[in-house]
Amino acid sequence: MPAPESRRRRLLGPLAVAAHRLALTLASALPKGVRPLCGSTDGNCGSTEGSDPLVRFVLAHAWGMGGTIRTTLTIAEHLAAGRDVELVSVFRRRERPFFRLPAGVRVRALDDQRRRGGLLGALPSVLVHPDDYAYPWCSLRTDLALLRWLRSLDGGVLVTTRPAFNLLAARLAPPGVATVGQEHQHLAAHRPRLRADMERWYGRLDALTVLTSADERDYGALLAGSRTLVERIPNPLPPGDPPVSTQEERLVVAAGRLTRQKGFDLLIPAFAEVARQRPDWRLRIYGSGPERRRLQAQIGALGLADHVALMGRSRRLDRDMARGSIFVLSSRFEGFGMVLVEAMAAGLAVVSFDCPHGPADIVTSGRDGFLVPPEDTTALARAMLALVEDPGRRRRYAEAGLETARGYAVASVGPRVAALLARLPRL
């Protein structure tokens, strides 16, 4: 389900969306190919004779943190080993990147918000869809930078990574530019007005990649009859060998933004039963977010201060995971649930709600983890206790999870991205 709307958004949202739709209609009527920004003197920024086309990935904030950012950086670096790749950040708000920027990839920011934005920076965006969660970070200055850059493109592949940018690519990319949208959330997670515009315009994209089999079905139905190729490609793990759990610590790990979506308010009371029966076990929750104070109060009210800790944001989640023995995903819904794959790669046995969408694509219940009914805290507690009380089963699940995680290595997922690019039209 999409996040609930505030009163302000309910009142002003329809007006903002109407202004956005008008602005995008006017922008799409402007002449294309204004001026190349890649330094080329002949206007050809897409590719050179006999080479693979330039691939441009568009992120909201390449210097920030988040699963979409890390996934895009990983794929960009993988592709850059054999072709020209550029990473375009719509805005930049940080001096230093949270993740290491990919080697061999050019990186640019269209709207550097570390500098004062003047009047244009203070006015709201009209090109970025108001119902996209990136909207509050964009302004009229962002719009002008985006419009100038998009209209200057000449050939190549444009890969956009969130709905608002997918819509801009569908409407504003010049002819000869192949467009690939990415969806990192299931269809029902989007606000209704945004979903309506996706249904209307996504059919102009050359391809749309999704993360789960359910997404492939839902977005495929949305785009039935259009020319858009819908392809399921999961998120990859970053390269390298993460540390692996010894399965000796009496520690359960969870991770994610401290929001209602992630369901830590369900995990904490479920773990209360684990702590009651096995007081030698602890739970650590990694992440930051708006629910921290409420979750801390819940921990106190349940008398779990000695058993449950909110650890804050982690820069080395793989290392912190490997200190545990069990990982729990308690989300009410997911775009994919990449953190489950990361936990498997760290050698943890996993327990997850069978929420929409993603966990059932990753976890084979009874082989490499447990899937339990969504929001069923009693079942979640029982699954955790089954692993706590049976070290042999815990180790078997962890070993099977390591095998599952290998299928998400970038060496496996990267070629699927390259194969999709090779199938695109106009190239």
Q: What is the 3-state secondary structure (H, E, C) of 336-393?
A: CCHHHHHHHHCCCEEEEECCCCCHHHHCCECCCEEEECCCCHHHHHHHHHHHHCCHHH
Residue pair 333/346 in contact (Cβ under 8 Å)? The answer is no
What does the pLDDT look like over 123-157, one tens digit per residue? 999 999 999 999 999 999 999 999 999 989 989 99
Q: What are the structure tokens assigned to 280, written together?
A: 């030698």
Q: What is the mean pLDDT of the chain?
A: 91
Handedness of CA 307, 312, 317, 319 (dihedral sign): negative
What does the pLDDT look like over 280-319, one tens digit per residue? 999 999 999 999 999 999 999 999 999 999 999 998 899 9
What does the pLDDT look like over 30-47, one tens digit per residue? 876 544 434 343 334 444
Q: Distances in Å between the alpha carbon of 173 and those of 34, 180, 196, 204? A: 12, 11, 20, 10
381, 402, 259: which is closest to 321 by C-alpha?
402
Q: What are the structure tokens assigned to 241, written together?
A: 């060998």
**Phi, psi (5° rounding) for residue 306?**
-90, 0
Residue pair 228/205 in contact (Cβ under 8 Å)? The answer is yes
What's the mean pLDDT in 237-252? 94
Q: Are strands 326-329 and 349-353 parallel, antiparallel or unpaired?
A: parallel
Q: Residue 172 above 90 pLDDT?
A: yes
What does the pLDDT look like over 72-109, one tens digit per residue? 999 999 999 999 999 999 999 999 999 999 999 999 99
Q: Residue 186 above 80 pLDDT?
A: yes
Model pLDDT, residue 12: 65
Buried b (16+ CB within 10 A) or exposed e, 365-398: beebbbbbebeebebbbbbbbebbeeeeebbebb
Cα atoms found within 13 Å of the Cα of residue 373, Cβ hemisphere only: 4
The label of the residue with tokens 């933004």 reads 257
Handedness of CA 326, 366, 329, 96 (dihedral sign): positive
Q: pLDDT-derived band of residue 223, with 50, 70 and 90 as boundaries?
A: very high
- Ranges assigned E (strand) in 214-333: 229-232, 251-255, 282-286, 308-312, 326-329
Q: What DSSP element (H or E) covers 86?
A: strand 85-92
Question: Candidates 3.40.50.300, 3.40.640.10, 3.40.50.2000, 3.30.450.90; correct CATH number of 46-238+410-423?
Answer: 3.40.50.2000
Q: What are the structure tokens assigned to 309, written together?
A: 């800790």
Q: Distances in Å between the alpha carbon of 120 and those of 89, 116, 403? A: 19, 10, 51
Share of the chain above pLDDT 90, in %: 83
The Cβ of residue 241 has, within 10 Å, a number of other Cβ atoms equal to 7
The Cβ of residue 306 has, within 10 Å, a number of other Cβ atoms equal to 10
Q: pLDDT-derived band of residue 253, with 50, 70 and 90 as boundaries?
A: very high
**Helix, strand or coil, per DSSP, at residue 247:** coil
Are 46-238+410-423 and 251-406 equal in CATH topology?
A: yes
Model pLDDT, residue 232: 96
362, 345, 363: which is closest to 410 by C-alpha?
345
What does the pLDDT look like over 359-380, one tens digit per residue? 999 999 999 999 999 999 999 9
The label of the residue with tokens 């990361």 reads 342
Model pLDDT, residue 52: 81
Cα 85 to Cα 63: distance, rounded to the nearest angstrom: 17
Model pLDDT, residue 43: 39
Domain ranges of the chain: 46-238+410-423, 251-406
Strand partners, 207: 180, 229
Q: Domain 251-406 belongs to what architecture?
A: 3-Layer(aba) Sandwich (3.40)
Residue pair 256/262 in contact (Cβ under 8 Å)? The answer is yes
Model pLDDT, residue 115: 85
Cα 159 to Cα 55: distance, rounded to the nearest angstrom: 7
pTM: 0.87
Q: Residue 330 above 90 pLDDT?
A: yes
What does the pLDDT look like over 394-424, one tens digit per residue? 999 999 999 999 999 999 999 999 999 999 9
